[in-house]
Amino acid sequence: MGQTARVSAIVWIAAVSLAAWLWLLLCQGFFWRTDVRLPPRGRPGRWPDVCVVVPARDEAAVLPLSLPSLLAQDYPGRAEVFLVDDGSTDGTGELARELAVRHGGLPLSVVSPGEPPAGW
């Protein structure tokens, strides 16, 4: 009796899980496809504005690997990258500006709010 009840519970859990996935896949308008929800590429005025904020403190070692690929994103709407140089001592802000000039792409703004408060 115990073995049968355990198998029955597993079968019911599997059946409910399968039903949930089938409902998501077939009844929710192909939610995983972005081309169904995003406007066509020919009408960039309807694309939402995008602002990418990159927090950076002493990140000069990794910026040459990460920032060019971020600036090279192809977005049909308006997009801008903000790098927040949070009191770096390794020239992160200057390097970011240099990489933006060298690689082009999305506009980059480097903001330096100064040293963080004590204890951060």
Residue 1 pLDDT level (bands cut at 50, 70, 90): low
- Measured CA to CA, the distance from residue 28 to residue 38 in angstroms comes to 16
Domain residue extents for the chain: 1-37, 42-120
Query: Is residue 12 scored above 70 in pLDDT?
Result: yes
Residue 113 confidence (pLDDT): 87
Which token pair is 19?
């039903």
Q: Contact, 110 vs 85, CB < 8 A? A: yes
CA distances from 108 to 28, 55, 57, 71, 79 (A): 38, 13, 17, 8, 10
Taking 80 as the threshold, does the pLDDT of residue 75 lie above it?
yes
Reported as a single tens digit per residue, the pLDDT across 93-105 is 999 999 999 999 9
pLDDT single digits (tens) 53-69: 999 988 999 999 999 99
State the CB neighbour count (10 A cutoff) for residue 83. 26
pLDDT value for 17 = 96
pTM beyond 0.95: no
pLDDT on residue 65: 93
DSSP lists the bridge partners of residue 84 as: 55, 111
The three-state secondary structure class of 15 is: helix
